[in-house]
Structure 1
Amino acid sequence: MPQQDRAYATREAILQAAAEEFDRLGYDRTSLTAVLARTGLTKGAFYFHFASKDAVARALIDHQNDQWTDLRERWRARGLDPLSTLWGLFAESADRMAADVVLRAGVRLNAEREVGYPGVPNTHVLWEKLITSYVAEAGECGQLREGVDPEAVARTLCGAALGARLISSATTACADFPARIREVLGFVMPSIAPDGWKLSGSQNAGDGPIRP
């Protein structure tokens, strides 16, 4: 294996091992010793790639930020109606969280960082703004029940998603998070979408039409 490929593989192994520990225990309770034990690497090999445990955590946070940006852009590019885009974005986010411990660890680390460092931009607030924009756009398209408040919908979805993630993480290591999110969507969407609206562009057999 070329040296560059070996270096990349080693860095990815460190991120994977650190993610498994961070996802399980959080930042403060994760030790460098435990990460090294998972990888079988020496401290020297670790420090060649990362200056500290904090540097690994920052790399994982950056990774999850990039993943969410890519996901949002891809769903917007599909050209679906706003509510279908919102449903798909939420559902795929949950699928990714359940399947990818590296992403999941980045999300947990970012949440801990927001709590520990007042003034750091809050991801949940950013998601609320994104959801508000989709729901408001749906209203402009005549795709919203009369009297629905986009900001209230955003707060409800974000709060429910956060609670679902915390419970799912604690009970099933996020395995049932996709099902929980689809349950949330199944209750919220019929209350805001007009009669006759149907989900479009679904990639998942479990995402059927909405029947208010």
Structure 2
Amino acid sequence: MPQQDRAHATREAILQAAAEEFDRLGYDRTSLTAVLARAGLTKGAFYFHFASKEAVASALIERQGELWSEVRESWRARGIDPLSALHGMFVESADRMAADVVLRAGVRLNADREIGYPGVPSTHVMWEKLIGTYLAEAGERGHLLPGVDPEAVARTLCSAALGARLISSATTSCGDFPDRIREVLGHVLPCVAAAGWKLSGSHKEPERPVGP
């Protein structure tokens, strides 16, 4: 294996091992010794790639931020109606959380770092605004019932999603998070969508990822 490929594989092994420990115990309770043991690496190999445990955590947080950006842009670019895009974005996000420990760890670390709003990262506020935009667009197209407040629905969806994630994380390591999100969508969207709206025929739920 070329040296560059080996270096990449080692870095990924560190991120994977650290993610598994952070996801299981959180930042404060995770030791560098445990990460190295899980990765099967020496301290020398670790410090070649990362200066500290904090640096690994920062890398995981950065990665989850990049992935969420990709998910948002992917659904925006599909050209389907806003409610269908919103549904698909929620479902894909939940599926990815259940399947990818690196993503889950990044989300947990990001939440744990937040000052002033423990457990509720600023990205949650960003998602609330984004979802409100989708819902406002749906209202402009006549896809919402008269009198529906897009911002209120956005708050409801985001609060339900956050609660579902916290409960699912604590009870099943996010294993049932996709089902919980589908339940949320199945109850909320029919209550706010206009009678003529249907999930876009061009929208197909992505297959649930398997493995990291």
**Quick check: TM above 0.5?**
yes
Distance 1:183 1:97, change over 3 A: same
Task: Tell me if 1:189 matches 2:189.
Answer: yes
Number of the residue aligned with 2:126: 126
> Partners of 2:151 and 2:140 in 1: how far apart?
15
Task: Tell me if 1:149 matches 2:149.
Answer: yes
Number of the residue aligned with 2:91: 91
**Structure 1 residue 40: deviation in Å?**
1.3
Distance 1:130 1:35, change over 3 A: same
> Partners of 2:121 and 2:160 in 1: how far apart?
20
Greater relative contact order, per chain length (Cα 8 Å cut-off, separation 6+)? 2
**Structure 1 residue 117: deviation in Å?**
8.6
**Number of residue-to-residue matches in the alignment:** 205
* TM-score w.r.t. length of structure 1: 0.93
Number of the residue aligned with 2:40: 40
Structure 2 unaligned residues grouped into runs of 5+: 208-212
**Cα deviations by residue, 1:72-124 (Å, 9 ceiling, x for unpaired):** 00101100000000000000000000010001100000111114799x97111
> Partners of 1:197 and 1:173 in 2: how far apart?
34
* TM-score w.r.t. length of structure 2: 0.93
Task: Tell me if 1:22 matches 2:5.
Answer: no
**Structure 1 residue 205: deviation in Å?**
8.7
Any runs of at least 4 consecutive aligned residues in structure 1 with deviations exceeding 3 A, and if so which?
Answer: 115-118
Matched residue of 1:164: which SS? Answer: helix
The AA in structure 1 aligned to 2:205 is N
> Partners of 2:143 and 2:102 in 1: how far apart?
36
> Partners of 1:117 and 1:147 in 2: how far apart?
31
Number of the residue aligned with 1:73: 73
**Structure 1 residue 171: deviation in Å?**
1.0
Contact 2:168 2:175 in 1 (8 A): yes
The AA in structure 2 aligned to 1:161 is A
> Partners of 2:89 and 2:16 in 1: how far apart?
25
Q: Percent identity?
A: 78
**1:173-188 equivalence runs, <5 A:** 173-188=173-188
Matched residue of 1:139: which SS? Answer: helix
> Partners of 2:46 and 2:11 in 1: how far apart?
8
The Cα RMSD (Å) is 1.8
